[in-house]
Amino acid sequence: MGNSIANSVPSKEGRYGKFGGQYVPETLMTALLGLETAYDEAMKDPLFTDELTYYLQQYVGRETPLYYAENLTKELDGAKIYLKREDLNHTGAHKINNAIGQALLAKRMGKKKIVAETGAGQHGVATATACALLNLECVVFMGAEDIERQQLNVFRMELLGTKVESVETGSKTLKDAVNAALRYWVTNVEDTHYILGSALGPHPFPKIVRDFQRVIGEETRKQILEKEGRLPDAVVACIGGGSNAIGMFHPFVDDETVALYGVEAAGSGIETGKHAAAIAGGQLGVLHGAYMYLLQDENGFVQEAHSISAGLDYPGKGPEHCYLHDIGRAKFQSITDSEALEGLQLLSRTEGILPALESSHAIAYTAKLAKTMSTDDIIVVCLSGRGDKDVHTVRKALGGDR
Amino acid sequence: MATLQQAIEQTTVTGNKAFIPYIMAGDGGLETLKPTILQLQQMDVTAIEVGIPFTDPVADGPTIEQAGERALAAGVTLRKVFETLASFKEEIHVPLVVMTYFNPVLAYGLEAFAEACVAGGVKGLIVPDVPLEESTILRETLNPYGIDIVQLVSLTSPPERIARIAAASQGFVYAVTVNGITGARTNFAHDLKGHFAHLREVSHIPVLAGFGISTPEQVVSMGALGDGVIVGSAIVTALHEGNLTKVEALVSASKGDLEKSTL
């Protein structure tokens, strides 16, 4: 393990190379330092890890299948494609892995209240679910524009007993919801834990989220070895903030033969400026506690991200992904809205699986990649969520709105 | 011109408390920046905190956030604020402290930022999203230009941490008086007296109270805890409404022998 890249980050200061850190108001520093200590202790305590495993198996439905997509493979006539079925988790996406983990951690820390942000509503629903299960009071901040786009998820959260607060400031989307959640946390830090939904934010959040999502990659690694007797040649995952991608990548980072591909949302196209591809089209900057690649203008003002997928609609990329990009260990590609829609239809048609718009970016890139590889090669795709939530958006985009 | 610490000590030695108003640069248009600074200077404030608008002001409440949105809509940027300050630098006789989130500083470039501070008469910098752990680079880059880096202490900071922050802070220690964001408050919880007593004991520089102070009475009571106050949202609101009388009432509450006033 001496030369492990995977275990070399974060540093004690929460750095991934030059990325990450803790750029937050002083009022939160004590909470972050306390969170780190509590987290480290919890992960060494079998009572905690056993409880987490129990809920992941009995409640979330893990492990999720690693499914050989034979029809898709035949259609593309390239590398063999496996899908890691995170869409089969309770609540329909990988977000629940982290939400359950952090909710258990909050309980262990004696916090009775939870605050969270949500974009599309997937992390909000996952957090609301975990809070209902574990009897925690929950408030979720959501941009007014996202509330408009995702009415059903708002109602789902309310059914689960969560209070959804509309955020009317700034661009009224995910980044503003994070601002509002951080403000709420600053004000209520003594009895409240913030369940951040992606591998973003100040240390130790990127590490905690990564570790709770690592189960994706760990299961995948074991499953592919069982099925194929060897590691895959490529692993593909979509990336907004980067939680499903880092969970999938991390157990493979030290396997040099496995290529890692993160797929950013190119929106209307990177050249149009209307995209969410911070690695392809952003600069280095600080937002929400971390130094990372960020969509911003020459004045350092943060720019709005654009993507048909609300879950990828964030102007930054998690610090560990920025690091993996910088050292060349992972490659970051981008897929436009219309390519993602094609990916969604391709998987629906060939396999009878309707992927989330987020995951459709990974499918669309895989379709390109598979054709360049031999039929002996293996690609694993993280199918991070199911597409039921997106049916309305997709129908509108494909012109089938009646 | 006096340093921040000198300006504060020149105020407190007379029995008055330091008073630092916060303004949002360019709220009402960039052309208001000069007259606003000169008016406040006329009222004999100790220093002036010049806020730079930002798209994602996580430490600010609705009053300052909205002022920032108005300034952004008016096209205000860090560069334009520096240009304006430099244009009337000779008329500025109180130390200016820039308060900005970190990203605009990074985008400007740290060295260029330091040079622009000097050209604009800026003597100090407050970056609310750069806590002690991340602050070394600011002191290393800006101290050679004579710019102080002011650190914030919060009610949640444990005693040992308070001592380290107080030791690192320059100009003064910015003591946040609430758990929360900027903006008017009616109630201040916690044992503020004990908190400030400890802070003043461990600090070798003045201690100023800020966040939530919005009435002349609060200027008196919070000022008595330390060496003075910073007033933000109430000043921003009064300036936005053109109510200079209210600004004056806040400033004059800091003058007089406050130690005698009851809490």
- For the stretch A105-115, pLDDT in tens is 999 999 999 99
Distance from CA of A116 to the nearest CA of B (A): 15
Q: What is the DSSP string of A162-215?
A: PEEEEE-STTSSHHHHHHHHHHHHHHHTTTEEE---SS-SSTTHHHHHHHHHHH
To test the contact with chain A by mutation, choose from B129, B182, B190 the residue with the greatest count of A C-beta atoms within 10 A, namely B129
Work out the pLDDT band at A1, boundaries 50, 70, 90: very low
Percentage of residues of chain A with pLDDT beyond 90: 91
Q: Which of B212, B255, B229 is nearest to A187 (CA)?
A: B212
The whole-number pLDDT of residue B118 equals: 97
* Chain centroid offset of residue B168 CA: 17
A37 Cβ under 8 Å from any chain B Cβ: no
Arithmetic mean of pLDDT, A3-24:
95
Q: How far apart are CA A26 and CA A346, in angstroms?
A: 49
CA B36 to chain centroid, in Å, comes to: 15
DSSP E strands in chain B: the ranges are: 18-24, 48-51, 96-99, 122-126, 148-150, 152-153, 173-176, 207-210, 228-231
β-pair type (A234-238, A259-267): parallel
To the nearest whole Å, the CA of B165 is away from the closest chain A CA by 10
Q: Is A27 on the interface with B (CB under 8 A)?
A: yes
CB contact under 8 A, A26 and B151: yes
pTM of the model: 0.96
The reported pLDDT for the residue numbered B259 is 47
Choose from A12, A19, A27 for mutation: most chain B CBs within 10 A.
A27
Q: List, for residues A349-364, the tens digit of each pLDDT value.
A: 999 999 999 999 999 9
Q: What is the pLDDT at residue B258? A: 47
Question: B224, B258 in Cβ contact below 8 A?
Answer: yes
Neighbours of A117 (CB within 10 A): 30
Does A29 sit within 8 Å of B181, measured CB to CB?
no
Segments of chain B scoring below 50 in pLDDT: 258-263
ipTM > 0.85, yes or no: yes
pLDDT at A120: 80
Is pLDDT of A343 > 70? yes
Contact criterion met (CB < 8 Å) for B161 and A301: no
The closest CB to that of B59, out of A25, A284, A294, belongs to A25
Q: Catalytic: B60?
A: yes
Q: Is B49 a catalytic residue?
A: yes
> Contact, A356 vs A341, CB < 8 A?
no
Mean pLDDT of A161-168: 97
Nearest CA in chain B to A184: B180
**A301-324 pLDDT, tens per residue?**
999 999 999 889 899 999 999 999
C-alpha–C-alpha distance, residues A209 and A307, integer Å? 23
Q: List pLDDT tens digits, range A183-219.
A: 999 889 889 999 999 999 999 999 999 999 999 999 9
Which of B69, B83, B134, B160 best tests the A interface by mutation, with the highest count of A CBs <10 A? B134
pLDDT at B190 (0 to 100): 65
Tokens of B234: 């109430």
**Pairwise CB contact (< 8 Å): A179 & B57:** yes
Contacts of B179 in chain A (CB under 8 A): 27, 186-190
Q: Look at the block and give the residue holding tokens 């009878």.
A: A352
Contact criterion met (CB below 8 Å) for B229 and B222: yes
Given a cut of 80, whether residue A401 has pLDDT beyond it is no
Q: Do the chains contact at B58 and A23, CB–CB below 8 Å?
A: no
* Rounded Cα distance, A356 and A340, in Å: 10
